Amino acid sequence: MTVQDVTLRGEPLIELDEVSRTYKTAAGTITAVDNVSLAFGKGEAMCIVGESGCGKTTAGRMLAGLLRPSNGRLIFEGNDVWKIKGKELASFRRAVQLVHQDPYASLNPLRTVYQTLSAPLYRHKKVRGHQAAVAAVTELLQRVGLTPPGDFLVKYPHQLSGGQRQRVSIARALTVDPRVIVADEAVSMVDVSIRISLLNLLLKLRDDLGVTIVLITHDLAVARYFAQKGRIGVMYLGRVVELGRSEAVVGDAAHPYSAALVAAIPEADPTITRGKERVALRSAEIPSLLRLPSGCTFHPRCPLAEPGLCDVQVPALLPLKDEREVACHVALRERAPAAELLSASTGA
């Protein structure tokens, strides 16, 4: 399928503005997300990638308005979501929907597909009466590729495959005409042979309905496919370390951590995977979130780390010329930063 250009343009629709989230645990306070700013445009298809513990799920939950940031704001259409109430808040709740990772746990096993999908339609007064509900559910099932819809209306989740359940989950998110869908590892638990069709479904919804879709994944190959004409953000220990067009981030990673990920990932191609250049990390150990390293949190593992710089100063996420941002002192110095940044810093 052809994929339209889907990067951020113009005013963002939804935005995390310098958000942090800390958790108090018995062992001390941990910062799951540390000062992250991410803006998403209308109809954008974007991926957040990172390993476990990088804060991608926490960031996703804050984006969906399910988790209150400890600091910073969630902005939707110009409003600070955690300050609005009543009708405005209800409209935000409808506008942003989450698709969960595990389709075996996210559907009520005692409800048929029709019951699952019609409940929100009735609740939000999208339909009146049984006939209209059946018609609306039928249309939703068609939209997510569960055809013929009549076969699926009366099915219970246990009668469906993982991929079919995930399609029901997506249909459920669509019941309230959302503007943003946050899909957290939405294809990780389905078989490899059908992952692409689910990703294509999400991309098609973006094309047909103009929904903004944020896919959170640990799989770089999935991210590359999904965001092939869009952006990828790479997170490490609670921070965004690189953000930019997918082909730049995956094809020519600027941050040493993204480069290490791209180099480490095995590929379904014996010649490529066996001939890949490795990035040797200085340490394999992932630092504990309880005792994060000073300066750049990647410095104890980073092959480019410079003593006196990287272990002292926290690198800010700053733009490079090729429409991307990177949080790395060395990368910013070696790759010329964007011209406007230079002129801004010299006061021109």
Partner 1 sequence: MDPGVVLSVRHLAIDYMTRRGPVHSVRDVSFDLHKGETLAVIGESGSGKTTMAVSLVRLSPRAARITKGEILYRTADDEIVDVRSLGTEELRQYRWSELAMVFQAALNAFNPVITIWEQFHDTGQAHGYGDSKKIRQRADELLRLVHLEPDRVLRAYPHELSGGMRQRILIAMSLMLEPQVVVLDEPTTALDILTQRQIIDLLGDLKRRLGFSLVFISHDLSIAAELADRVITMYSGTVVERASVQDLFYRPRHPYSVGLLQAVPRVSGELGSVSSIGGSPPDLVHLPPGCTYEPRCPFRIPECKEAEPALLAVDLPDHDARCIRWKEVAATVGSKEVPIAVKAAAAS
Binding region for partner 1 (CB under 8 A): 51-52, 161-163, 191-198, 200, 218, 220-222, 224-225, 228, 250, 260-262, 264-274, 276, 281, 284, 286
* Shortest spacing between CB 78 and partner 1, in angstroms: 36
CA distances from 97 to 3, 63, 78, 92 (A): 23, 10, 18, 9
* Shortest spacing between CB 257 and partner 1, in angstroms: 9
Q: Which is nearer to partner 1, 14 or 302 (CB)?
A: 302
Tokens of 322: 């090729």
Q: Which is nearer to partner 1, 46 or 133 (CB)?
A: 46
Q: Which is nearer to partner 1, 263 or 341 (CB)?
A: 263
* Shortest spacing between CB 26 and partner 1, in angstroms: 14
Q: Work out the end-to-end distance of the chain between its first and last CA atoms, rounded to an integer number of angstroms.
A: 45
Q: Which is nearer to partner 1, 153 or 220 (CB)?
A: 220
* Shortest spacing between CB 167 and partner 1, in angstroms: 12
* Shortest spacing between CB 74 and partner 1, in angstroms: 28
* Shortest spacing between CB 338 and partner 1, in angstroms: 26
* Shortest spacing between CB 278 and partner 1, in angstroms: 8
Write out the DSSP string of 46-114: EEEE--TTSSHHHHHHHHTTSS--SEEEEEETTEETTT--HHHHHHHHHHEEEE-S-TTTSS-TTS-HH
* DSSP structure class, residue 343: H
Tokens of 145: 């590729």
Q: Please give the distance of CA 313 from its chain centroid, rounded to a whole number.
A: 28
Q: Which is nearer to partner 1, 192 or 348 (CB)?
A: 192
How many other C-beta atoms are found inside a 10 Å radius of the C-beta of residue 11? 11
Q: Which is nearer to partner 1, 181 or 249 (CB)?
A: 249
Contact call for residues 23 and 189 (beta carbons, < 8 A): no
Q: Please choose, from the candidates 96, 197, 206, the residue with its C-alpha nearest in 3D space to the C-alpha of residue 147.
A: 197
How many other C-beta atoms are found inside a 10 Å radius of the C-beta of residue 35? 16
Number of H helices, E strands in the chain: 13, 12
* Shortest spacing between CB 194 and partner 1, in angstroms: 5
Q: Which is nearer to partner 1, 134 or 286 (CB)?
A: 286
Q: Which is nearer to partner 1, 76 or 225 (CB)?
A: 225
- The helix (run of H) or strand (run of E) holding residue 22 is strand 14-25
